[in-house]
């Protein structure tokens, strides 16, 4: 039993979700990934270890996890939903050329979000800061 397996198990238990093989596999995959995979990519990535896992299970599991706040869904504008493991507040930067996504940590995020939460009369549950631009490689390609 790996550590990440135990971690995944603990998270599921904590949320009162049944710890099935598939859910643990999906959660482990997302915890170890630094990428921001799509439902399809996760499905394909699990195909080797779990050849029988179905698309609907992956979709169902990902949306369940998102509801529970275990994952953050992220829409980058290319029509597919990407997922990342829910971390401390951070900024996602999306490259408009290669669709790559990176995370930026900033000390300014938390105080900023607190300000905004004070300024809206709504009850805020979740937040997302997204930048669009050009990554190193694509910037270089565009300006030779």
Give me the residues that bind DNA (CB under 7 A), please.
12-13, 17-23, 38-40, 50, 52-57, 59-61, 63-64, 79-81
127 binds, among DNA, a second copy, none (CB under 5 to 8 A by kind): a second copy
Distance CA 58, CA 86 (A): 17
Q: Does 108 bind a second copy (CB under 8 A)?
A: yes
One character per residue 76-105, x = contact with a second copy (rule: CB under 8 A)? -x-------------x-x-xx-----x-x-
* CB neighbours of residue 74 within 10 Å: 17
57 binds, among DNA, a second copy, none (CB under 5 to 8 A by kind): DNA
Q: In terms of DSSP bridges, do strands 91-95 and 71-75 run parallel, antiparallel, or are they unpaired?
A: unpaired
Cβ neighbourhood burial of 94 (10 Å; 0-12, 13-18, 19+): buried
Min CB(130)–DNA separation in Å: 16
Cα distances (angstroms) measured from residue 36 to each of 14, 29, 72, 99: 24, 11, 10, 10
* CB neighbours of residue 125 within 10 Å: 6
Q: Return residues touching a second copy (CB under 8 A).
A: 73, 75, 77, 91, 93, 95-96, 102, 104, 106, 108-109, 112, 115-117, 119-136, 139
């Amino acid at each position: 039993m790996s550590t990440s397996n135990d971690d995944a198990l603990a998270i599921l238990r904590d949320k009162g979700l049944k710890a099935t093989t598939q859910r643990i596999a999906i959660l482990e995959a997302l915890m170890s990934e630094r990428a921001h995979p799509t439902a399809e990519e996760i499905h394909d990535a699990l195909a080797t270890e779990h050849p029988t896992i179905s698309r609907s299970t992956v979709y169902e599991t990902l949306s369940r996890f998102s509801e529970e706040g275990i994952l953050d869904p992220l829409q980058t504008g290319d029509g597919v939903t990407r997922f990342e493991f829910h971390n401390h507040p951070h900024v996602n930067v999306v490259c408009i050329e290669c669709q790559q996504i990176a995370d930026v940590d900033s000390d300014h995020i938390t105080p900023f979000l607190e300000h905004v939460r004070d300024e809206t009369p709504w009850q805020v549950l979740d937040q997302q800061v997204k930048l669009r631009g050009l990554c190193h490689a694509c910037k270089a390609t565009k300006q030779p």
